[in-house]
Structures are given as structure tokens and as C-alpha cells.
Amino acid sequence: MKKNTLYIVLMLILGTSCSFDTPEKDLRIAVSQCSDDAWRQTMNEEILREASFHPNVHVVIKTAFDSNQKQIRDIESFIADRVDLIIVSPNEAVPLTPVIEKAMNEGIPVVLVDRKTSNSQYTAFVGADNFQIGKEVGVYTANLLKGKGNVVEIRGLKGSTPDKERHEGFFSVIRNYPEIKIVYENDGGWLRSQANEKMTDALQKVPTIDLVFAHNDEMATGAYEAIRIAGSSSKPVILGIDALPGTDGGIQKVLNGTIDATFIYPTGGEKAVQTAIRILRNEPYERENILYTAVVDNTNARVLKLQTDQIIQHQHRIGQLNTVLDLNLAQYSTQRILLYFSLAVLFIILVLLVLLFRSYRHKNRVNRELGLTNLAINRQKEELSEQRDQLITLSKNLEDATQAKLVFFTNISHEF
Ligand code: FRU
């Protein structure tokens, strides 16, 4: 038991006072988001959760609220702050390219997420293949319409790369079906409200609509609301992209019947941070990190919902564990300070005890020496007093002899 306690104390002292492995240098990762919506917030949460597993990684997030100018300013400020790496989802490709090039030229690595710029000047990309998603939507549409029907396409923000790529992928399939016609096509800016307006417009202009392809679930919801308000007798099939989990996500919307199918567009926040850390540690990394996609419709929405709900619960639990861990770490550091303090006090007490013991021993030695000197002095004193007595006796004898001599000489002189 005693041995164990000693071991623990030793480990504590060693573990706290001297850390053998050099602590990792602080890494500042800046995130520039183009918009603020559920999809972006999910990505931001993933980024922060992944970063929380690395105590030396500090993340700062800025959102441009769909403004190119604001995003350029955000990235300029990150460059001025000399952050270690920037994760960017460019609102539009062309306007954002120069500032991203500037960051690269100043030696700040850039990880693009979800959207791209107009050239290949970036360190790494994390996101799904939007051309491929568009193609998959095309194949799904062709199968559903059995090669014939009228399609409305509500596209994403013009100038952002996913809009262009999703459209091109979709069209690369649809053009093989001459009887499938894109009867209306417009920019919904990735926003529900804009898609609602465009769908209302389409309903007024086109008499028969068989399918609506909205480039994301938000816009698909906007289109659904417009169709509901118009009160048309036959509801077209509505397809979206994103398939976010959660109560307001695309998977739930498929279950509710708001949209008929959606395609998973992974947010990839964890992968973005993992790639960023590998770049900053000079470890090997993939330049193109293409994330998976899959369709979500009434055949698999329920099982996916169960799984994603469980994942959300686990993530929530991780969040709670992180809070507990932070608390414990704070307690640990206070206890460490207390331990240092107690060790210092103990050390001072030990030094004082040693000094006390030494002075006690010194005093004893001096006392002993004094005793001996005393003894010697006493002995000397006795000897001296003996000598004095002898001298007294001697002088007495001398006096007696002198007296006798005097008496003798007196008597002799009388005789003479
Ligand atoms: C979120 C979002 C998603 C879409 C993606 C495209 O801001 O609009 O809904 O899939 O961006 O970049």
C-alpha cells in the first residue's frame, strides 16, 4: 500500500514537472464560410468537434452571408492575422479566386471545401463530386419518368461551382432522352425563398410539370411550398440534394413527403480538419478528397433516419464528454498548481528541519566542548588552590623556621 502511494506520488511529480515529449506547436485554422444555413452549421460543428480532439488546434470561423465582398474581406483579415491555414468554401468561383491565390502566394495553405475557385491554385479539396451527383439525379429522373416528361430545374447560385457541375452532370444524362424536356430553368441562389419565387413563376408559365429538380433540399422545400400554395391538382415529383439528418433535414422531408428523393451531399467538416492538420504537420495528404453520395428515397429513408438519429445522439454525447473533459482538465491543472505549491512548502520545511538539526548538533558540540573546558579549568583551579595551600604551608614553615632561627640567634647572642 505504502509502496503504491509512493509510486503514484512519484508518477505525479514526474508527469507534472517534466514532460518528456515536446508539446505540439499551436495551429490556427481559419474557416471562411460563404453562407449561413443548416448545411453550413453542420459542417462548422464537425470542424469544431474534430478540432476539439487536438488541444493545440484553434479554429476561428467567419461567415460571409452569401456576399462575395464580405468573404474577400474575411479572407484578407485571415491573411493579415497570419493564420496557419485557411479552409474556404468560396461563394462564387471567379470573384474569390484572386484572394485565395494571394493567401497561397503568402505561404498560407488553403483547403477548399464543397465549392471550388476558377483555377487549381489550392492546397487540397474536400467535397463531393458535384458532376457525379448531377449525373445520378439524371439517371434517377430518367428511370422515374420512364424516359418521358417535363422537368423544371431550379439551379444553385450562378457562379458557384456546384451549380455549374450539378447542371452539367444532370444534363449529360438527360440529353440522351429526347422526350425528357427541361421546360423551365432558373437560378434559385441556394435559397428557399428564391426557389419559391422561381417555382411560382414556372407554375404560371408551364402547364404540365412532371418533375422538379432543385439543386438543394432548401430550394426543393421552397418549390414544394409554391406548388402547395398554387393548389395544382397533380403534384410533380420533387428531387433535392443534401439529405441532411435532423428534424428539419432532407431525410425527414422525404419521410414527410415534402420531397420525393434527395441525394446525400456530405458536409465533410471532419475530413477538412484532418487534411488541414496533415498539411500543417508536413505529413502526406490527399490533394483531392472526394466524398461519397447516395440517393435517399422512400425505400431507405426510414433506416437512414434511424442511423443518423443515432449518430446525432452519439455526437451529442461526445459534446457532453468534451465538457466533462474540459472540467476535469481545469481541475487537474488547479490540482497540479496545488501540488507544486505543497511540494515547495514541503521542501522549505525540509530545509528548515535540516538547518534546525544542524544547529542543534552544533550547539550540543559546543556545549560538550565548553563542559570539557570547564572541567579543565576546574582541575586547574584545584591544582592552583593545592599549590596555594602548599605555598601557604611552605611560607608558614619558612616563617616558623625564620622564627626559630631568630629565637636561636637571640638566645645565642644572649649567651655571648
Ligand atoms: C449550403 C449549400 C448546400 C448546397 C451547397 C452547395 O450552403 O447551399 O445546400 O448543397 O451549399 O455549395
Residue spans of the domains in the chain: they are 2-128, 130-267+291-302
Ligand 1 centroid to Cα of residue 100, in Å, is: 20
- pLDDT at residue 239, rounded to an integer: 98
* Confidence (pTM): 0.78
Which residues surround ligand 1 with Cβ inside 6 Å? 35, 37, 39-40, 114-115, 156, 160, 162, 190, 216, 218, 241-242, 265
Matching CATH topology for 2-128 and 130-267+291-302? yes
Q: How far apart are the two ends of the chain, measured CA to CA in Å?
A: 113
Query: Best mutation site among 34, 40, 190 for ligand 1, i.e. most ligand atoms within 8 A of its Cβ?
Result: 190
User: Which of 265, 267, 293, 296 should be mutated for ligand 1, with most atoms under 8 A from CB?
Assistant: 265
Q: How far is the CA of 126 from the centre of ligand 1 (A)?
A: 14
| Separation CA 34–CA 127 (nearest Å) | 15
Spatial strand order in the sheet of 124-128: 57-63, 27-33, 85-88, 110-113, 124-128, 288-291
- Residue among 192, 246, 264 nearest 35 (CA): 192
**Residue that has been written with the C-alpha cell 619558612 in this structure:** 398
Strands 211-214 and 149-155: parallel
Q: How many A from CA of 147 to the centre of ligand 1?
A: 28
Calculate the CA dihedral of residues 363, 369, 373, 374 and round it to 10 degrees.
50
Report CA Rg, the chain.
Answer: 47
pLDDT at 398: 85
Please give the Cα distance from 168 to 260 (Å, whole number).
Answer: 22
| Ligand 1 mutation pick, 34, 65, 96, 114, max ligand atoms within 8 A of CB | 114
Q: Residue 242 in 3-state DSSP?
A: strand
**Cα–Cα distance between 68 and 168 in angstroms, integer?**
24
Distance 391 CA to ligand 1 centre (A): 127
Question: In whole angstroms, what is the distance from residue 73 CA to residue 67 CA?
Answer: 10
Q: Which atom of ligand 1 is nearest to the CA of 39?
A: 1
Architecture of domain 130-267+291-302: 3-Layer(aba) Sandwich (3.40)
Helices (H), 106-216: 130-144, 161-174, 192-205
Domain 2-128 annotated CATH 3.40.50.2300: yes
Cα(92) to centroid(ligand 1), Å: 12
Instruction: Report mean pLDDT in 10-residue bins for the chain, 416 residues.
Output: 49 48 84 97 96 95 98 98 98 98 98 97 98 98 98 98 98 98 98 98 96 98 96 90 96 97 98 98 98 96 94 89 89 94 95 95 94 92 90 87 84 81
Contact 245, 308 (CB under 8 A): yes
Question: Which atom in ligand 1 lies closest to the alpha carbon of residue 114?
Answer: 12
The Cβ-side half-sphere exposure at 142, using a 13 Å CA radius, reads 16
What is the number of residues in the chain? 416
Calpha distance 333→337 (Å, rounded): 6
149, three cell numbers: 416528361
- Ligand 1 mean position to 51 CA, how many Å? 22
Spatial CB neighbours of 88, under 8 Å, sequence gap ≥ 6: 31, 32, 71, 75, 96, 100, 110, 111, 112, 113
Residue 17: per-residue pLDDT? 47
Note whether 114 and 89 are within 8 A (CB): yes
Cell match 452571408: residue? 65
Give residue for cell 579543565.
Answer: 376
Interstrand relation of 110-113 and 85-88 (parallel, antiparallel or unpaired): parallel
